[in-house]
Amino acid sequence: MSMTSLKRAARKIDWLVRCILLLLTGGCLTLLVTWVWSDNATNYLLRSDAAISKQYISVPDNFQLLVEQSFSCPPCPDVQSIDGLETTGYVDLGVINCSINGAETIECREDKGQVYIPASFINNYFEVYGNVKREGSSRVYNFQHGYGKVYPVQPVYHPGGVFLNFEKYNVETRDKIICVTASHGVPLVSQWDPAGYYYAITVAQYGLSHHAKGILSGNPVPKPVAGGDVTASVWENVESGMSVEIVETSTALGTRKVLAFNAPESVTSPGPVLRLNTIEQTVCMDLQLNSPGGVTMQILTKEGKLGFIHFTLDDAHMVVNGNHVIYGMGQRNLGKWVHLARDVDVDWLKSLGRTKFNAPTCFMEIVDVTLHGTGFLDNVTISTSAHNDHLIHAADWLVISQDSQGGWPTSTGMKTGDNIELKPGWYSAMGQGQAISTLVRAYNLTGQKSYLDTVVAALHLYQLGSHEGGVRARFLDQLDWYEEYPTTPTSTFVLNGFIFAMLGLYDAMKTLDGEGQILAEKLWSSGLHSLKKMLGMYDTGTGTLYDLRHVINHEQPNRARWDYHTTHIALIEEMAIIDGDPIFRSTFNRWVDYFYGKRSKHN
């Protein structure tokens, strides 16, 4: 080797070190190794790019200087000539083309005889998920077969207990929920109508989720802060022309002491103020307004801004104006007692149009409560939650909203396929079931018999065929199926809605007595027979199907996406617990396996 070639080689080493260190600075983790050699005829540049964690290399002290020098190094990936030697091209080391089913070609990698396929292709092709995560000081690529999570249900099921795994449901923060109304204390849905409407399934799930949370997280004892039993002296800012005083008033339950107030009617005017300065976000109260006016809660956000949440007699459910939001209880409640149970953080969040809790704009503290107009106030409490109040609000809405058929009709019709439709005013067996499960729990909590009257009435539609305006389909004119979507002329046989309808029947059967009990048990038994006969049809060996449209209407199979698959898993686990038939347990185990990518055998 001549001195010239030695020098040239050394210069290349120097250049490489500088390039490497350039890339290492600024937290860059991509290391470029480049190798060049030449004879007199041709020059060769080979390149290999790869990522390494900086942890593997302790950059020695004396390399600092080189780093500073290296800024004049040309951008490494684009280097095509060095020392005036022209290169004829370069290759990415380890690149191999992959032909996908002979139809398309993607670029893969090869290393030590193993071919590597891009994760982005795999994720798209196989509908799986992955992302790079930092674990301690190293980085790991997390491959996930499904998204979401399998949440177990409680080991025992009973009609007063946790419903399914509903403690994991957060109904009111979902996208499609406009707000929890002040008039009924239940969520308003925008899914099929942006103006908002009440949907029995959503109302029931709101009640059931809070009921489950209450059991598993506890229902905190609310702290009374003002009201008929305490002194009125806590109220501040009682200016001239305003008053707060304890008075006796007669109610249906007898005479009781409440706080009477009188103040300007405008919710932006001053009024008597009750200072709270609490981070507990739930305020409950009984309120009777005898004039326009209302109650204002002033809140402080985490970013230090103020917000004003007004509860008035407006008919509009929610009106937002800057940092003021009005929740309307409705004109009809003038002169009537209304029970408010407000998660103020949710009220604030919804006023922002936000669907998820978000730190910068999030509620931090209730500053105070201000009174407007003329009325009575009682039982003001603060707490971290009011789960049972939400359950009762849901149940009460179901009681007053049930129609003469015993159902909760949906006014929006739907077309679910060619000539397959739901006519406006349709009922859902899932709605009936979820309503029953809610009402039974409200009954178990309060002992109030009227809830059970609503339950008995709700059984009626289970007996009516979809063609008769009911919710019952029959598979091969033989097996009863309670339809989440009782489409006509052909049925849909949605699995999850059916089991929700069944759980309602189970709750009714175990809670009612007399004819209601007999009817509920008959409907349950008939449905259980169907489920055992038909369950396998939803099992693909790698996942589950949402419905049977592929059997009934010869459409393409409607594969359940992962969140429905995990719902199927929870529902079938609940059936295993309730019924004990080993087919439910073995199906449950298999469906859990599918979630983690394990398939059934092939022949």
Site for a copy of itself in 381-410 (CB under 8 A): none
| Among 540, 577, 579, 592, contact with a copy of itself (rule: CB under 8 A) | 540
Rule CB under 8 A: choose which of 25, 69, 80, 138 binds a copy of itself. Answer: 138
Determine the Cα–Cα distance for residues 515 and 533; give it in Å rounded to an integer: 27
Query: Binding segment for a copy of itself among 108-116, 316-324, 332-340, 351-359 (CB under 8 A)?
Result: 108-116
134 contributes a contact to a copy of itself by CB under 8 A: no
Which amino acid does the sequence have at 314?
A: D
Interface region with a copy of itself, contact rule CB under 8 A, candidates 133-141, 226-234, 257-265, 312-320: 133-141
Classify 31 as helix, strand or coil: strand
Interface region with a copy of itself, contact rule CB under 8 A, candidates 168-176, 266-274, 373-381, 593-601: 593-601
φ/ψ bin of 13: left (φ > 0), alpha (ψ from -120 to 50), beta (otherwise): alpha
Applying CB under 8 A, the span of 68-76, 104-112, 293-301, 331-339 interacting with a copy of itself comes to 104-112
Identify whether 489 is preceded by a cis peptide bond (ω within 30 of 0): yes
CB of 292 to a copy of itself, least distance (A): 48
Start-to-end Cα distance in the chain: 66
Q: Which of residues 61-80 bind a copy of itself (CB under 8 A)?
A: 61-63
Cα-to-chain-centroid distance, residue 175: 8
Q: Is 145 near a copy of itself (CB under 8 A)?
A: yes
The answer for residues whose C-beta is within 8 angstroms of residue 83's C-beta and 6 or more apart is 8, 11, 12
Q: Distance between CA atoms of 537 and 487, rounded to whole angstroms?
A: 19
- Annotate each residue in 168-197 with x if it binds a copy of itself (CB under 8 A) or - if it does not, as one string: ------------------------------
Residue 417 as a binder of a copy of itself (CB under 8 A): the answer is: no
Report the SS3 class of residue 139.
strand
Q: Residue 227 and residue 14: Cα distance in Å, rounded?
A: 82
Return the number of the residue (114 or 250) whose C-beta is nearest a copy of itself. Answer: 114
CA distance 90 to 78: 10
Q: Which residues contact 151 (CB under 8 A, 6 or more apart)?
A: 165, 168, 566, 570
**Strands 324-328 and 306-312, how do they pair?**
parallel
**Interface residues for a copy of itself in 562-591 (CB under 8 A)?**
564, 583, 586-587, 590
According to DSSP, residue 426 is labeled B
Is 31 a binder of a copy of itself (CB under 8 A)? yes
What would you measure as the largest C-alpha separation in the chain, in angstroms? 112
Query: Can you list the positions of beta strands (E) in 323-373?
Result: 324-328, 337-343, 363-372
Applying the rule CB under 8 A, the residues between 457 and 476 that interact with a copy of itself are 476
Nearest to 283 by CA among 180, 372, 366: 366
Of 200-208, 248-256, 395-403, 550-558, the window that binds a copy of itself (rule: CB under 8 A) is 550-558
- The two tokens of residue 21 are 């260190």
Query: Does 97 engage in binding with a copy of itself (CB under 8 A)?
Result: yes
Q: Which is nearer to a copy of itself, 172 or 484 (CB)?
A: 484
Q: Is 208 in the site for a copy of itself (CB under 8 A)?
A: no
Q: Which residues contact 372 (CB under 8 A, 6 or more apart)?
A: 263, 264, 265, 266, 267, 269, 271, 293, 294, 295, 296
Going by the DSSP 8-state scheme, the letter that residue 156 receives in this structure is S
Which residue shows structure tokens 């403690």?
Answer: 167
Q: Which is nearer to a copy of itself, 298 or 587 (CB)?
A: 587
Output 49 or 521, the one with its CB closest to a copy of itself.
Answer: 49
Contact flag: residue 521 with a copy of itself (CB under 8 A)? no
DSSP letter assigned to residue 376: E
Judged by CB, which is closer to a copy of itself: 117, or 234? Answer: 117
- Identified binder of a copy of itself from the candidate list 25, 57, 251, 279, rule CB under 8 A: 57
Q: Minimum CB separation from a copy of itself for residue 109, in Å?
A: 5
Q: Which residue has the tokens 């008995």?
A: 456
Q: Which is nearer to a copy of itself, 173 or 553 (CB)?
A: 553
Query: If you ran DSSP here, which 8-state letter would residue 466 be given?
Result: G
- Residue 149 binds a copy of itself, judged by CB under 8 A: no
Reduced to 3 states (helix: H, G, I; strand: E, B; else coil), residue 603 is coil
Quick check: 49 binds a copy of itself (CB under 8 A)? yes
* Pick 12 or 324: Cβ nearer a copy of itself: 12
Alpha carbons 58 and 426: distance in angstroms, whole number:
69
535 is a contact residue toward a copy of itself (CB under 8 A): yes
Tell whether residue 536 is a contact of a copy of itself (CB under 8 A): yes
Position 267 contacts a copy of itself (CB under 8 A): no
Q: Considering the rule CB under 8 A, would residue 141 count as an interface residue with a copy of itself?
A: yes
Q: How far is the CB of 524 from a copy of itself (least distance, A)?
A: 20
Based on the shown chain and the rule CB under 8 A, indicate whether residue 152 belongs to the binding site for a copy of itself.
no
